[in-house]
A and B are shown apart, each in its own frame.
Chain A
Amino acid sequence: SQQGEEDPQALSIQEGENATMNCSYKTSINNLQWYRQNSGRGLVHLILIRSNEREKHSGRLRVTLDTSKKSSSLLITASRAADTASYFCATVSGNTPLVFGKGTRLSVIA
């Protein structure tokens, strides 16, 4: 079953702009993770935010977590054409494996 719902499903922006993707989930979590997938490839782990954290940064990535609203956002600043990919949020509850959302397809136009 899927836990997360990403919003928007697709996003197209110009290079240099910021991209914001949102994720909502349904149950209590231990942590929430964001992954990137280039077309036809495996997943690359971007960032993990624990349930007791509210914000985390990694390079051009900024992730927020609001457990009261059961939502998270991923912000990519100063986007590049190479950022074009699908982005998935995934949650961990207890000792379960990752449960993925439907993903956001990001297109960065040079």
Chain B
Amino acid sequence: GAVVSQHPSWVICKSGTSVKIECRSLDFQATTMFWYRQFPKQSLMLMATSNEGSKATYEQGVEKDKFLINHASLTLSTLTVTSAHPEDSSFYICSARDQGSGNPDTQYFGPGTRLTVL
């Protein structure tokens, strides 16, 4: 089945630093990937849609200059949290659709990255 990986699985950083999170589709190509954020005991909130070779589409209220998304290849999207602050501490999850499969509507999720900003 389609597998999506994320790296790192957890990261602790100081306030003001930048953190990069990678999302990879391991056995399929993904022209579109999605980034979600999840606060404790809450649901997943879509942050942005990452499009290979073009600019990401951000949801309302998500600062594009703070959450930089780069989708440079068909198997890799990165999310960089710039000048991180404690309120950015959250669980970040990426997902991708395997549009070449028989289930193009199914999104496959990565295991998530827990970011803690001190």
Q: Which residues of A does B touch, CB under 8 Å? A: 2, 30-31, 33, 35, 40-45, 48, 88, 92, 97-103, 105
Contact = CB atoms under 8 A, between A and B. Distances in A.
Contact of A40 (B36, B42, B91): B91
B109 to A, nearest CB: 4
Interface residues of B, number: 23
Contacts of B6: 42
B107 A88 contact: no
Nearest to B2: A45
A42 B110 contact: yes
Interface stretch (B11-19, B43-51, B70-78): B43-51
Contacts, number: 53
Binding site of B, secondary structure by majority: helix, strand, loop or mixed? strand
Q: At the interface, is chain A mostly helix, strand, loop or mixed?
A: strand
B43 A102 contact: yes
Contact of A101 (B43, B91, B108): B43
A35 B109 CA distance: 10
A33 B114 contact: no
B111 interface: yes
19 contacts: A35-B109, A40-B91, A40-B114, A41-B111, A41-B112, A43-B44, A43-B93, A43-B109, A45-B106, A45-B107, A45-B108, A88-B44, A97-B46, A97-B95, A98-B34, A99-B46, A100-B43, A100-B44, A100-B45
